[in-house]
Amino acid sequence: MSKTMKIILSVVGLFVALIAVSIGYLYFQFSPLMENAPPDYVVKNYIEEKYGFEIDIIETRTYGMGASPEFIVSPETDEDIRFNVIVDSSDHSVIEDDYSYALEADKEFQKLKTVIPVIEEMGFTGEEHPDIRLNYNYESISLILMDHEGINFKMFAPDGLDRYYALYQLIVESQADLDNIVIADESSPYSLDLFMEPLAAAKNKEEFLTILKTYHPLIVSHELVRQLQDEAAAIENERFYFGNQFAKEHGDDEDPWLHCIEVSETAECTSAHITITYQEGGFTSSNLYFAEDLETIFDFISTHVEPEIRVELLSLEADDLSGDSLEIGYEDRMKYENVNELIAFLLNK
């Protein structure tokens, strides 16, 4: 056998040995955890001894190595009720369940069942499956719905208002005592929350919308952008435009260039954050148009936005997706009356 072949075989042998050692190490590390996974009968026996009924195990969830598994179970005789059982991974005699909270939620679910067919006809389904169910914890009961028609925050009123108001009225009529209704949209990162306690004060659809706006500044933001879009477009030039580049390139019309930070009880925006995209390489003292552009932007803010809405932050983002940006706070705008002095301050931060 040649010397070269001996070297190759030695390397291969070493590689195989390392794999074997790694597999052995992983086995001894993980096998105790696998052995400690509680079998189904532990959960079934626990429930039967504690509550006197048999269960079906719907799902088993684990949340990481060594974490106690969570069993989602349901009484064999009542599939409407689902509750959680957690078994300590290191001591199977330590078991917790939330059956009492599930019973409270089920009382409300039985009321809600009377209107579920109508809710489904309106284009709503459950969160993770078509069936509509209630979510609960030790302090609240909520309903999470998927809206397959989509939530249009940009044109929320009047486009979506009638439908959500009808949904709210339907649930109120069912007399199900819920804390919150969460409406999600698969195509959007935003959700709509109907907090039942504050909404109870609404006497009509207009008051319903006002309360919704106080909890969803995004609705107010889009309304303001629609009101200001002509004035904003009038001052845009080849160097800057309102909004961020990503939203413009990907047609993301859910991300308005003016974001309300705070909304009053009467649904008026009181403070905001404005985003503007500026030309690549424009954040320099050698840019002869920088001061002129800032003056134009500041004049727009003082004429059309402030003082009713205080612009807490003005973000200038580079249009090359480099991440370069300048953040101009309200206090800095007020402090430097001379724009060139403000630019010098910003560039030397």
How much is the pLDDT for 15? Answer: 52
How much is the pLDDT for 339? Answer: 94
Of 193, 215, 237, the position where a domain reaches its end is 215
Query: How many CA within 13 A on the CB side of residue 150?
Result: 8
In this structure, the answer to whether residues 60 and 154 fall within a common structural domain is no
In this structure, the answer to whether residues 236 and 321 fall within a common structural domain is yes
How much is the pLDDT for 37? Answer: 59
How much is the pLDDT for 157? Answer: 77
**Distance between CA 266 and CA 277 in Å, rounded?**
32
- What are the pLDDT digits (tens) for 123-178? 999 987 678 999 999 999 999 999 988 898 888 877 689 999 999 999 999 999 99
Please report whether residue 177 resides in a domain.
yes
In this structure, the answer to whether residues 91 and 53 fall within a common structural domain is yes
Please report whether residue 91 resides in a domain.
yes
Q: Which of 109, 86, 106, 104 is nearest to 38 (CA)?
A: 86
- What is the extent of the structural domain holding 66? 40-97
How much is the pLDDT for 186? Answer: 81
H helix and E strand count, the chain: 13, 14
DSSP state of 133: -
How much is the pLDDT for 20? Answer: 47
> Which parts of the chain register pLDDT below 50?
3-9, 11-12, 16-17, 20-21, 23-35
Report whether 255 contacts 190 (CB < 8 A). Answer: no
Report whether 176 contacts 112 (CB < 8 A). Answer: yes
Of 215, 246, 261, the position where a domain reaches its end is 215
DSSP state of 203: -
In this structure, the answer to whether residues 246 and 315 fall within a common structural domain is yes
Number of domains in the chain: 3
